[in-house]
Amino acid sequence: MIIFGEINCLGFCLETSSIAHLVALFFVISIALLAASFIIKRPKQRLQTFVSAQVAVLLAIAATFYTMKCSEMLSFYLYLAYVGITGILIFGVVRFYDRLMIKRLDAKPAGNIMEWVQKFVNQLASATVYYYDSAAPRAFAAGRSIFVSIGLLEVLDDDELKAVLAHEAWHIRNNSRTPYLKQLAIMTFSSHKSSEIEELADSFAASIAGREALSSARNKVDKVFI
């Protein structure tokens, strides 16, 4: 294959290049940042690390491109591979985000402790409700899962909880219709501005649980359910 010739060529170029160590450094940094972006728990820092990794990869590619005096094709293949891998990562993150969160949050099915919660959601969407150990009252939907924190279960009464669950169920039902980047943004930022999507989810929640329950839930958790 041509690419092996390119790699040989790159090896030769790097041996004679004065910036070989720089190319290697950029690649090491970008791999380290990418790995870190999977380990970091805070959504905002995770996204920042991921973006930094992208920049480091771009620098690595630019440095490689500069080094390839004999041929420029390897940079092209590297770039293609990079775009492909990034695409798969981003696609995978959206698709398997709930599996990831179940593991990360050590979430358990909410039906185990509050049977009605799962039954209520079953009427609205095909989704599993999970709870996780956190004092901060939070709820969010991802994939086919709804996550609620113990703090949320403690602070809300049944009607308010229904409003929150209906809101999240609406998200599950409409996930496929939510623009891809918006989904990613909602997932990666812990808080976000009220949007058209949130208003639609809220009006669905109000139609199920009542406007009053929704607004008192909103007041109690102050926009931490998305």
Q: Which residues bind Zn ion (CB under 5 A)?
A: 198, 201, 226
User: Residue 199 Cβ, how far from Zn ion at the closest point, in Å?
Assistant: 9
User: Residue 151 Cβ, how far from Zn ion at the closest point, in Å?
Assistant: 18
Judged by CB, which is closer to Zn ion: 52, or 178? 178
Judged by CB, which is closer to Zn ion: 56, or 166? 166
User: Residue 201 Cβ, how far from Zn ion at the closest point, in Å?
Assistant: 4
User: Residue 90 Cβ, how far from Zn ion at the closest point, in Å?
Assistant: 21
Judged by CB, which is closer to Zn ion: 48, or 178? 178
Angle, CA 185 vertex, CA 181 and CA 187 arms, to 5°: 115
Judged by CB, which is closer to Zn ion: 10, or 186? 186
Cβ contacts of 63 within 8 Å, gap of 6 or more: 19, 22, 23, 26
Using alpha carbons only, how large is the chain's radius of gyration in Å? 23
CA dihedral 11, 15, 21, 22 (to 10 degrees): -70
- What is the C-alpha separation between 102 and 132, in angstroms, rounded? 8
